Structure 1
Amino acid sequence: MQDQNTAGSADSIDYIAVEESERFRTLKRTQRSFIFPLAAFFLIWYFIYVVFAAFAHDFMAQRVWGDITIGLLFGLGQFVTTFVITMWYVSFANRKLDPIATEIREELEKAQASS
């Protein structure tokens, strides 16, 4: 059950105005400019792997050394790529997104405290 003060103070914030603010739009635009190209790259990389596995058996079965094949390296590359993209996004968010989000949050907290 929500406390009266919590419910009342939440009503004082105009979330639609915040969402339509230039700072929030900049935050979303910055996030999307990072996420969409990277997601497209990863999906293309993933589908290339699937297509090669389905239609390029001889290529994927080529041994690189010992029992290590190109297909195995591509498969392991999927895991590596996932971790690298995740770490890259966390770093990007810490540097570019979090400072803007913190400013927006602090502004809202100040406005909420003064009302």
Structure 2
Amino acid sequence: MSNSNVNWAAIDANPKFQALHRKKTFFLWGLMVFSIIYYFLLPIGAAYYKELFNTKVWGVVNFGLLFALSEFVVAWAIAFVYSKKANAQFDAMAQEIINDVNSGRIK
């Protein structure tokens, strides 16, 4: 089916699409809230917990520096978690909707 012949309103009203959108939105909001909280822990910690953030861990490396570097690890972990979830669930749900459109079950 060509892209111009797709009834997007019917897809949007389809319960399978609604379920996909709901699951994906809930999951992404959870990841976003977690990442924002983790991100803001760095400036809050540096401002209000100076003793902890200045604690030497190894040589000149202190807890604050390690926490700042952990932000990169957390960002990659979030990307990995999303990728796994998308590959395991969201892509299969989307493919089912595509198959319904191509077979004419969604008009």
**Residues 1-115 of structure 1: matches in 2 within 5 Å?**
9-111=2-104
**Which protein has the larger Cα radius of gyration, Structure 1 or Structure 2?**
1
Distance 2:75 2:81 in 1: 10
TM-score by length of 1: 0.81
- Structure 1 vs Structure 2: percent identity of aligned residues? 30
CA-CA distance at 1:29 after TM superposition: 1.1
1:3 matched to which residue of 2?
A: none
Q: Which runs of 4+ in 1 moved over 6 A?
A: none
Structure 1 residue runs without a partner (length 5+): 1-5
What amino acid does structure 1 have at the position aligned with 2:101? L
Distance 1:22 1:110 in 2: 17
Distance 1:94 1:22 in 2: 21
CA-CA distance at 1:10 after TM superposition: 3.7
Aligned CA-pair RMSD: 1.9
> 1:30-54: per-residue Cα shift (whole Å, max 9, x none)?
1122111121111111111111123
What amino acid does structure 1 have at the position aligned with 2:67? F
CA-CA distance at 1:11 after TM superposition: 4.2
